[in-house]
Every structure is written in structure tokens, then in C-alpha cells.
């Protein structure tokens, strides 16, 4: 088992992870400033790594992106969500091995599934650590759900299910286009190139 | 010491081989320069010596590459590259590990990976810093350096690991003239001080002619010329394969038919050779009156 | 016209060098301390403990580390969005709350909700304060080295430090691409759809240019014995002491005792 894990983390995978973390942060930042919507697209890098190198490298990319973002922008409150980012990497990696990135419709389905997983994992974290709020506009949704009778956990989950699947689907589609733009020669250097290359 | 035995190599997904039936013997402590047009297989040759082919690039390899008696295909990369073969790339920026904050730590990075004890590490790093004139830059961030300085740090970082062979793949291609000079001076220091075999791809013929003992030219994956730098660089075949000759050679060639260059003397590749030759020709004419 | 809004200049705030005793502690000591403080703050059943921890433990430690204003200010920046949000959302809409304090039109502010908001804000302050104190007083490179020395994979240190150092360069690339696209007529200030297209035109080239060098950088790492199977040494030395080792164990034991106590109290 350790051997398999080690073989997933080749030197080129490590370089890829580090670059992907930076992509996550830079793109995530641009999107926040430009679109000002509950769409983050801060996991493009995570998705790319999960597809090219497997679930565990993808998971590591997600978790570390979260932690490093927290360090660099002096905001420890996003760090607990590294768990969510970790799970996003795992799920994406698994879905990629089911070849979903070879077909745009399946890619979208995969995005929705991943979004649901992300919302489900985030809900307890947001509910029990932060009282269900994030300090952004989506908190109104949480209020709405609570008014209709949900408890905090349910309300947070509801809010997540509204925004996360959309965000992840868009992320998956963009990732799909990027992967399609890479040459066979380039892709073949990565451990899980078979997730993308049509043979 | 380094031996290529009928090597033919094709990259994965490529239709044609990048190297075709190459046989080459490189002796210890020699300085081999490699020239050739783009796509002629120079970088592939270097990657073979370093062991990146076949360990990193896969593809189909026929023939053998033997370094110090060991077949590179049979030796794992981590036992092959660094203890034996140091590699310097074209792009200075990409060679920085990125994991270290100061030049000193960056140079020590390879030694840390090899598990060298701290005191020995410190000494070796200091020696190399002095050798390459980098002592003033020790505390700077590697990312704040100029191209030439970065490339010198890369050279130092590889050299500190004491490889037997040093492979340089167009180390000055992305540098300005000042940076180029810095790197070549560093190489000169290296060659003067240590017994290391050097293989360098470089198109700046004046520099090659000054340093190299031997020059080979590649064309479309085949070895086409092999000899002393002066012979190869002034060979008429160079034009055929698409490699430019230096301006000194051009100058001598253009005056050759008019008698401006001594008939018994090889064409020049460097400034000094050109000056010596032209002086001799002038004496000849002065002699005639 | 340099694009500032589209690709903002990210300013990084992490390690703040000071000549304080706090800075000289071994990174693990500070990490363990921060984790213990945060866990105790979150697991405490007494609602006032988090706030007390913040005021009487975190802030004094920050002062000792010459980081009082920095930690204070940064914590406020982090907390502010939460304050408003949670007071309103849970104040008005806390599920099952009945004790009304103040009503405005159809909305009623309830005591249970405000109490909940108070407790949560306390916990968030502890998380923010302890986390910031750790980050401001410990350089990531030292923290990574400490972790690697304790058995974490070397790859972790590589990934974290490289990502941190590469970020400004990628940011500069993003700005350059944004400016180039804008010069070609790409609109970045118009409506949502235009901005989305603008975004795609930026993300694509940025990601590609970032990925191009991955292979060569991996080779350069191999050329530095990165995948050599031996155990690594380090040029840099971290200073530890018996006292700190004991302190770390003591803090962990304290944490265990506290957790056991809280469970027993349930």
C-alpha cells in the first residue's frame, strides 16, 4: 500500500502539485475579484492534479492549497475547509479513473457529484465551527433555510447544495478544456495520463 | 569512459528516431562540444548521457550507453544522474529548486538530498561559492538574480555534488552577452580547476573553439562531423547541415581565393587564430613587395 | 492602463520577523501550543472560555512576541465579516429560539441566537488569534523543516516552499496576460457574461504557461538528487531545548486531560 502511494508521488507529480496549488490561489483570487459571486473556481489545480496524477495527489493539492492560502492571506478560518478540499481531490481522482473527462456530459455530471460531496463535507465544518455563516452573501440563504424550519446543519447543507455543484461543474468543464489542449507527448509524462488520452 | 554503442532512440509517440545509430567514445576529463541545427538530436544525446533517457522519457532505446562501466538503462536514475553526471539546462529560472530562500541553501540543496553531513556540506558549499565568485550573493534570494547569476548558481549547485561528468545543454542560450560571459568564465574556472568530463551543446563558436578539445556535429539524428574544434568549425559541411560558421571563418574564407589567407593554414575559428593567420598572409605579401 | 482590479496585486502577510523570545522558540513548540489553544477553545463547554483565552492568553503572548498590534488588527480583519453575519443570521433566525429581546417589524432578535453568536465569535477569535500568532512568529521554512525532521515526507517541504515562492511570479504572469488580453480588446468591466468570457481568456493561457515548465523543473530536481533514496540532511539548524520538549509533552497531556474532562462532564 505504501509502495502504491509512493509511486503516485513521482517527482513530476510533486512539481505539478506545487504549480497546481499556485494556480488554485491565483485563479481563485481573480475570480473572487472579478465575478463577485458565490463561484470560486479555486480548485482548478486540484482537479487537474487529480486527473493527471490520481486521487491522493489531488487530495494533497486541495488540502495544501487551503492551508497555504490561509497562511499567505492571514486568514486561519479557511483552514478547516482543507478537509473539504482533500475530499474534492479524492472524489475527482476516482471519477477521473472512471474516464468521465473524455466526455463533456459525464464531466458535468462529475462536477455535480463532486459539488454535492463538497457541500456535504463542508456543512458540518461550517455549522459546528462557524455557526453556519461565512461572512459572505450566501449567508442569506442560510437564514432563509432556517426560517423554513431547518436547523443550522441542514441550512448550511442547503446553502452548500445551491452553490457548490454549480461551482464544481464550471471548474470541471474548464479543466476539461485545458486537458484537451495538452499534447499527447506532454500528458504521457504523468502517472494517470490514461484518464485523458484516448487510445 | 562514456561510451555510446550504436544508439538509436525514438521518443514516445514520435514517428522517426531522434538519434540514429550513434557510436561515440568520450574520454575522461575531455571537453566535448556538440553542434547541430535544431532538432538534430543534441539535447537527446545529452539526456541519454544523463540517464533521463530512458528513465524519465521512456520511448524506444536500442543500443547501449555506458558510463564508467555501468549501463545507464540498467542503473536507477537516482544512482546515476547525480553522483556521476551533473546537468545544467538552458532555462535558468526552471533550475532553481524553488524550495530554498537563499543562494547558499540553494547550492546546498543537492547535498542535502544526498544526505551529506552538515559540516562537510558547509565546507563544500563555501568552496564552490568562492570558485564561482558567488560569495557576495550568498544571502540573496535565488529569484532576485540576473540570468547570468542564476545560471552560475545552477552550475555551482550541480558542481558542488562533485560529478564526474558535467553536461550543459545550451547554458547561455537565454542570456544576454554579459550573462553569457559570466557563465563561460565560470566554465573556464571549472575546467582549469577540476578533472571533470564536460559535454556542452553550444552554438557560440568562438567560445567553443576556446574551450573544447573535440567537437561533434549532429544532423537529423546522425553523427556527421567529429574532430578538433578548428577543423569542424571551419568545415564546409557545416553550411550543408545548417550550422553557421563564425565570422572569423567567413572573413578568412572570403579572402582565401584572393590569397588573403595562407594556403597551408587551416581556416580560423577564433579571433586569435584569425589574427595570426591574417598576419602571416600579410607578411607573405609584404615579402613580395 | 495597468489592470489592477482584474488581477489584483496580492499582498502576502505571513512571517513577521521580530527580535522576540517567542520567535526563537522551536516551530513545533509553537505549533503544539496553537493547536492546544484552538482545541481547548472549541471543545470547552463553558461559553466564556474562548473569549478569556483570547484576551488573557493569546493577546499577552502576542505582546510578548512584539506582535500585539499585528495579531489584533489581523484578527479584527478576519472576524469582521463574521460579526455582522452571525449576529444577524443567528440573532434573528436561530432555530428554536423563543426569548425575544428586541423586535423590528416581522424580525425578532432572540437571546438564544445572540448567545450562540457570542460563543461562536469567541471560538472564531481563538482560531484566528492562535493561528495568526503562529504564522506571524514562525517562518514556513522553519516549520516545514521541523515537520520533516519529525518524519513528515520531504516532499511536503518542497511543495509548500515552492508554492509560496512561485506565487508572486504566477501573479505577475496573470497581470501580464490580463493586460495583453485587454490590449486586444477584451472587456473586463462590462456585464457578467463579458466578464466570464474575459475570465476564460485569462485562465486558459495562465494555466498552460504554468504547466509548460513542469517537466523541465522535474528534470532539474532529478539533477539535484531529489529522488535519491537516502535520508536527507539539512544545512539549516533549528534550536530546540529539553525545556521545550517537556513543554510540548505537557501541553499535549493538558489537552488530553481537558478533553477527557469535557467528555466526562457531558
A178-192, C129-143, C147-161, C189-203: which has the minimum mean pLDDT?
C189-203
Task: Report the complex ipTM.
Answer: 0.91
Would you list the domain boundaries of chain B?
246-289
Q: Per this entry, what is the length of chain A?
A: 199
Output C11 or B99, whichever has higher pLDDT: B99
Q: What value does the mean pLDDT of chain C take? A: 88
Report, as an integer, the average pLDDT of C20-47. 94
Residue A36: the pLDDT is 62
- Residue A6 distance to chain C (closest CA, Å): 10
User: Going by DSSP bridges, is the β-strand pair B31-35/B197-201 parallel, antiparallel, or unpaired?
Assistant: parallel
**Cβ separation C161–B101 shorter than 8 A:** yes
- Band (B80; pLDDT cuts 50, 70, 90): low
- Contact check, Cβ <8 Å, C222/B98: no
- Give the pLDDT confidence of B213-246 residue by residue, as tens digits: 899 999 888 998 898 888 888 887 777 777 777 7
pLDDT for residue A1 = 61
Neighbours of A192 (CB within 10 A): 22
Going by pLDDT thresholds of 50, 70 and 90, the confidence category of residue C189 is low
Residues from chain A contacting residue B11 (CB–CB below 8 Å): 185
Across residues C139-150, what is the average pLDDT?
Answer: 93
Of C161, C218, C230, the CB nearest to B114: C230
What subunits make at least 3 CB pairs under 8 angstroms with B? A, C
> How confident is the model over B168-192, as a mean pLDDT?
88
pLDDT at B252: 83
Residues A70-97 have a mean pLDDT of: 95
A194: number of CA atoms within 13 Å, CB side? 6
Cα dist from A27 to A167, B277, C8, whole Å: 13, 62, 11
pLDDT of residue C202: 83
Question: Region C160-168: what's the mean pLDDT?
Answer: 93
Q: Are A118 and A87 in contact (CB under 8 A)?
A: yes
- Answer with the residue of higher pLDDT: C68 or B259: C68
Distance in angstroms (rounded) separating the CA atoms of residues A157 and A144: 12
Half-sphere exposure of A137 (CA within 13 A, CB side): 7
Note whether A18 contacts B: Cβ–Cβ < 8 A: yes
CB pairs under 8 A between B and C: 106
Min CA distance, A21 vs chain C (Å)?
7
Per-residue confidence (pLDDT) for residue C4, from 0 to 100: 40
DSSP character at residue B58: -
Touching C: A residues 62-81, CB under 8 Å: 64, 68, 70-77, 79-80
| Continuous H helices in chain C | 21-24, 27-43, 49-53, 59-64, 68-93, 111-137, 140-149, 154-183, 192-212, 214-222, 242-265
Ranking A90-94, A102-106, B138-142, B206-210 by mean pLDDT, the lowest is B206-210
Contact B98 A188 (CB under 8 A): no
Helix (H) or strand (E) run with residue B6 in it: strand B2-10
CA dist list (Å): C139 to A67, B165, C15: 14, 37, 5
Per-residue pLDDT, C140: 92
Question: Per the CB < 8 Å rule, is A35 touching C90?
Answer: no
Taking contacts as CB-CB distances below 8 angstroms, the residues of chain B near A17 are none
Q: Per-residue pLDDT averaged across A26-52, rounded? A: 84
pLDDT tens for each residue of C212-238: 889 999 999 999 989 888 889 999 999
The more confidently predicted of residues A124 and A148 is: A124
Mean pLDDT estimate for chain B: 87
Q: What is the mean pLDDT of residues A84-102?
A: 95
CA distance B258 to B236: 18
CB contact under 8 A, B115 and C230: yes
Residue B111 with chain C: CB contacts under 8 Å: 233, 235
pLDDT band (50, 70, 90) for residue A34: low
Q: Do A185 and B13 touch (CB under 8 A)?
A: yes
Residue B32's pLDDT is 92
Contact at 8 Å (CB) between B11 and B70? no
Percent residues over pLDDT 90 in chain B: 38
Mean of pLDDT values over B169-176: 90
Q: Which residue of C has its CA nearest to A77?
A: C128
Q: Is C231 on the interface with B (CB under 8 A)?
A: yes
Contact across the interface for C77 and A26, Cβ inside 8 Å: no
Residue B115 contacts A, CB cutoff 8 Å = no
Residues from chain B that touch A18, judged by Cβ atoms under 8 A, are 98
**Residues forming a β-bridge with C42:** none
Give me the residues of A, 27-56, that contact C with CB < 8 A.
Answer: 27, 29-31, 33-35, 41, 44, 48
Q: For residue B66, is pLDDT > 70? A: yes
For strands B165-169 and B197-201, give the pairing: parallel
> From the list C90, C124, C163, which residue is nearest A22 (CB)?
C163
Contacts of C143 (CB under 8 A, 6+ apart): C27, C31
Q: What pTM, to 2 d.p., does this model score?
A: 0.90
Q: Which residue has the higher pLDDT, B271 or A98?
A: A98
**Closest Cα in chain A, distance from residue C84 (Å):** 8
Amino acid at each position: 500500500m505504501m509502495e502504491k502511494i509512493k509511486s503516485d508521488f513521482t517527482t513530476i507529480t510533486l512539481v505539478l502539485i506545487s504549480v497546481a496549488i499556485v494556480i488554485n490561489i491565483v485563479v481563485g483570487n481573480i475570480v473572487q475579484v472579478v465575478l463577485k459571486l458565490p463561484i470560486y473556481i479555486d480548485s482548478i489545480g486540484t482537479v487537474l492534479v487529480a486527473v493527471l496524477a490520481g486521487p491522493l495527489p489531488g487530495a494533497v493539492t486541495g488540502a495544501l492549497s487551503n492551508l497555504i492560502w490561509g497562511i499567505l492571506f492571514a486568514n486561519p478560518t479557511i483552514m478547516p475547509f482543507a478537509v473539504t478540499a482533500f475530499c474534492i481531490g479524492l472524489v475527482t481522482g476516482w471519477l477521473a479513473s472512471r474516464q468521465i473527462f473524455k466526455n463533456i456530459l459525464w464531466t458535468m455530471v462529475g462536477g455535480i457529484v463532486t459539488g454535492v460531496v463538497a457541500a456535504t463535507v463542508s456543512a458540518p465544518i461550517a455549522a459546528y465551527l462557524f455557526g453556519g455563516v461565512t461572512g459572505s452573501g450566501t449567508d442569506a440563504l442560510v437564514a432563509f433555510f432556517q426560517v423554513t424550519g431547518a436547523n443550522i446543519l441542514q441550512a448550511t447543507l442547503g446553502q452548500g447544495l445551491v452553490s457548490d455543484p454549480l461551482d464544481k461543474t464550471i471548474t470541471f468543464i474548464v479543466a476539461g478544456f485545458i486537458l484537451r489542449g495538452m499534447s499527447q507527448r506532454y500528458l504521457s509524462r504523468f502517472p494517470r495520463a490514461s484518464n485523458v488520452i484516448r487510445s | 569512459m562514456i561510451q555510446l554503442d550504436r544508439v538509436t532512440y525514438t521518443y514516445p509517440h514520435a514517428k522517426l528516431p531522434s538519434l540514429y545509430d550513434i557510436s561515440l567514445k568520450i574520454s575522461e576529463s575531455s571537453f566535448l562540444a556538440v553542434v547541430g541545427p535544431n532538432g538534430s538530436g543534441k539535447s537527446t544525446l545529452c539526456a541519454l548521457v544523463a540517464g533521463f533517457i530512458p528513465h524519465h522519457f521512456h520511448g524506444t532505446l536500442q543500443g547501449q550507453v555506458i558510463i564508467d562501466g555501468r549501463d545507464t538503462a540498467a542503473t536507477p536514475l537516482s544512482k546515476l544522474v547525480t553522483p556521476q553526471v551533473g546537468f545544467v539546462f538552458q532555462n535558468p529560472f526552471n533550475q532553481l529548486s524553488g524550495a530554498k530562500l537563499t543562494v547558499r541553501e540553494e547550492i546546498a540543496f543537492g547535498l542535502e538530498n544526498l544526505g551529506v553531513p552538515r559540516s562537510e556540506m558547509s565546507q563544500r558549499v563555501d568552496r564552490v561559492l568562492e570558485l564561482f565568485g558567488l560569495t557576495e550573493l550568498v544571502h540573496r534570494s535565488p529569484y532576485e538574480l540576473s540570468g547570468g547569476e542564476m545560471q552560475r548558481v545552477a552550475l555551482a549547485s550541480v558542481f558542488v555534488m562533485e560529478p564526474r561528468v558535467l553536461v550543459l545543454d545550451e547554458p547561455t542560450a537565454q542570456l544576454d552577452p554579459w550573462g553569457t560571459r559570466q557563465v563561460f568564465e565560470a566554465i573556464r574556472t571549472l575546467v582549469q580547476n577540476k578533472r571533470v568530463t564536460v559535454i556542452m551543446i553550444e552554438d557560440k563558436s568562438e567560445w567553443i573553439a576556446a574551450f573544447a578539445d573535440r567537437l561533434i556535429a549532429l544532423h537529423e539524428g546522425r553523427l556527421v562531423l567529429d574532430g578538433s574544434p578548428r577543423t569542424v568549425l571551419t568545415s564546409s559541411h557545416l553550411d550543408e547541415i545548417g550550422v553557421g560558421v563564425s565570422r572569423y571563418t567567413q572573413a578568412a574564407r572570403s579572402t582565401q581565393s584572393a590569397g588573403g589567407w595562407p594556403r597551408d593554414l587551416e581556416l580560423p575559428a577564433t579571433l586569435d587564430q584569425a589574427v595570426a593567420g591574417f598576419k602571416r598572409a600579410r607578411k607573405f605579401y609584404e615579402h613580395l613587395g | 492602463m495597468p489592470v489592477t482590479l482584474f488581477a489584483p496585486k496580492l499582498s502576502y502577510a505571513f512571517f513577521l520577523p521580530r527580535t522576540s523570545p517567542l520567535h526563537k522558540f522551536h516551530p513545533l513548540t509553537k505549533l503544539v501550543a496553537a493547536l492546544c489553544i484552538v482545541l481547548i477553545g472549541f471543545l470547552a463547554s463553558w461559553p466564556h472560555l474562548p473569549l478569556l483565552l483570547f484576551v488573557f492568553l493569546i493577546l499577552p503572548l502576542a505582546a510578548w512576541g512584539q506582535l500585539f498590534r499585528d495579531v489584533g488588527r489581523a484578527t479584527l480583519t478576519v472576524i469582521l465579516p463574521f460579526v455582522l453575519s452571525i449576529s444577524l443570521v443567528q440573532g434573528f433566525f436561530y432555530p428554536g429560539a423563543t426569548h425575544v429581546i428586541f423586535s423590528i417589524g416581522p424580525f425578532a432578535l432572540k437571546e438564544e441566537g445572540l448567545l450562540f453568536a457570542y460563543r461562536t465569535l469567541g471560538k472564531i477569535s481563538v482560531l484566528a488569534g492562535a493561528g495568526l500568532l503562529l504564522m506571524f512568529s514562525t517562518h514556513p521554512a522553519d516549520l516545514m523543516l521541523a515537520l520533516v525532521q519529525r518524519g513528515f515526507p520531504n516532499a511536503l517541504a518542497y511543495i509548500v516552499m515552492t508554492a509560496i515562492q512561485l506565487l508572486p511570479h504566477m501573479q505577475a504572469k496573470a497581470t501580464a496576460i490580463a493586460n495583453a488580453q485587454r490590449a486586444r480588446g477584451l472587456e473586463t468591466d462590462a456585464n457578467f457574461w463579458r466578464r466570464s468570457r474575459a475570465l476564460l481568456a485569462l485562465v486558459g493561457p495562465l494555466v498552460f504557461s504554468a504547466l509548460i515548465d513542469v517537466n523541465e523543473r522535474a528534470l532539474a530536481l532529478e539533477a539535484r538528487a531529489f529522488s535519491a533514496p537516502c535520508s536527507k540532511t539539512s544545512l539549516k539548524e533549528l534550536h530546540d531545548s529539553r525545556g521545550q520538549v517537556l513543554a510540548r509533552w505537557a501541553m499535549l497531556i493538558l489537552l488530553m486531560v481537558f478533553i477527557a474532562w469535557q467528555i466526562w462532564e457531558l
